[in-house]
Amino acid sequence: QQQVKQSPQSLIVQKGGISIINCAYENTAFDYFPWYQQFPGKGPALLIAIRPDVSEKKEGRFTISFNKSAKQFSLHIMDSQPGDSATYFCAASVGNNRLAFGKGNQVVVIP
């Protein structure tokens, strides 16, 4: 049973454009929502994270938007660059040390 569901499965964006990846969850007890970035041949690395008491968090070109009532959160990559081409995983946890990951979105930024 997938606890967090990502969409779209893959995304192709022109350099300079905005990449938007969405994630939906069912468990209202989740209290921590990170996004992880994975390059080929590497392990995932924490990119940005949010807690449900805020609706938006921005770090550089990366922004998480959180909609508690809709049980959705999204990752926005502004001014997308070819170096952003990677697989992005959303995840959620309820403080019991287990992170539930989505299936991942592959983002390809075309120069």
Partner 1 sequence: GAGVSQSPSNKVTEKGKDVELRCDPISGHTALYWYRQSLGQGLEFLIYFQGNSAPDKSGLPSDRFSAERTGGSVSTLTIQRTQQEDSAVYLCASSLQGGFGANVLTFGAGSRLTVL
Task: Select 16 or 60, whichever has its Cβ closest to partner 1.
Answer: 60
Using the rule CB under 8 A, which residue among 32, 58, 72, 77 binds partner 1? 32
Residue whose C-alpha is closest to residue 67's, from 35, 93, 28, 98: 28
Any contact of residue 93 with partner 1 (CB under 8 A)? yes
Any contact of residue 95 with partner 1 (CB under 8 A)? yes
Task: Select 15 or 42, whichever has its Cβ closest to partner 1.
Answer: 42
Residue 40 CA to residue 28 CA, distance in Å, equals 32
**Contact track, partner 1, 40-69, x by CB under 8 A:** -xxxxxx--x--------------------
- 39, 47, 82, 83, 98 from 65: Cα distances, Å: 23, 14, 23, 22, 22
Q: What does the longest C-alpha to C-alpha distance in the chain come to?
A: 42
Task: Select 26 or 79, whichever has its Cβ closest to partner 1.
Answer: 26
